[in-house]
Amino acid sequence: MIDAHIHADCRAYEDFKLIAIAGVESAITCAHDPLKMSSSAVILDHFHRIIFNESKRAAENGLKLYSALGVHPRSISPDVEVAFNKLPSILENENVVAVGEIGLETGSSSEKEIFIKQLKLAQELEMKIIVHTPRRNKREIAKMTLNIINEYIDESMVQIDHVDNSIIDLVSDFKGLRGITVQPQKMTPSEAAKLLDKYGTQRFVLDSDMSSSPSDPLSVPKTVHELKLQGFKKTDIKRVSQENVAKFYGI
């Protein structure tokens, strides 16, 4: 299994062991907003920790960790240009498989500006992109986000994340990946199973988005278990819990 979206830097060492025992072989850890990003120096230190410290902590527990780096919409410092200008060389690290997570939180003009800049950068570097959709005003902001994606980038390069019943119709024809975040307060394993039963497993991936917010490190194994109990085909279970992510990122 692969967990398609986590925040390893907010998790205990023991969580990596726990998910490895449960059968998660790799995960993608995304840049986010673990601190008040008061300056670009903090954003860059955050990137450094993800690339160098987190992959080591995970590897010591038998978990292969890949990274997605970028400026999260809740992490825009007043001097964000400094971090943005250093991003291309940081993205060259072999551990990095995508630009992310990026996107919109409130839809402000500064969020749009840095989101678009990062989409253009990803296109230039021919990199995949992990895009966040928020909890608040989810549908309205997701529409705005999808419009920007359509305007600036080939959507088949994008993993649009935190897809739930409130926005699934907006991404029914989406050509990239659609991430289902199974998380307390967001979606249970059985709700995820219901969604996959209705829409199929093509272009869907599962993730825990485990962070400092209420999370369940075992989201992906628990959802796979639920899918087995509900009689999903082995090929469908493998596709949504491993193959789609592995193919998309070449991992």
- The residues binding Zn ion (CB under 5 A) are 209
| 163 within 8 A of 187, measured Cβ to Cβ | no
Closest CB 70 distance from Zn ion, rounded Å: 11
How far apart CA 89 and CA 45 sit, in angstroms, is: 14
Identity of the residue, 210 or 237, whose beta carbon is nearer to Zn ion in the bound complex:
210
Closest CB 132 distance from Zn ion, rounded Å: 6
Sorted by sequence, the CB contacts under 8 Å of residue 231 that are 6+ apart come out as: none
**Closest C-alpha among 180, 113, 179 to residue 152:** 113
Sorted by sequence, the CB contacts under 8 Å of residue 32 that are 6+ apart come out as: 7, 72, 74, 75, 101, 211
**Closest C-alpha among 53, 54, 68, 66 to residue 16:** 54
Closest CB 161 distance from Zn ion, rounded Å: 7
**Adjacent-strand bridge partners of 151:** none
Identity of the residue, 64 or 74, whose beta carbon is nearer to Zn ion in the bound complex:
74
Identity of the residue, 89 or 185, whose beta carbon is nearer to Zn ion in the bound complex:
185
Closest CB 72 distance from Zn ion, rounded Å: 8
Identity of the residue, 6 or 237, whose beta carbon is nearer to Zn ion in the bound complex:
6
Identity of the residue, 3 or 209, whose beta carbon is nearer to Zn ion in the bound complex:
209
Closest CB 11 distance from Zn ion, rounded Å: 12
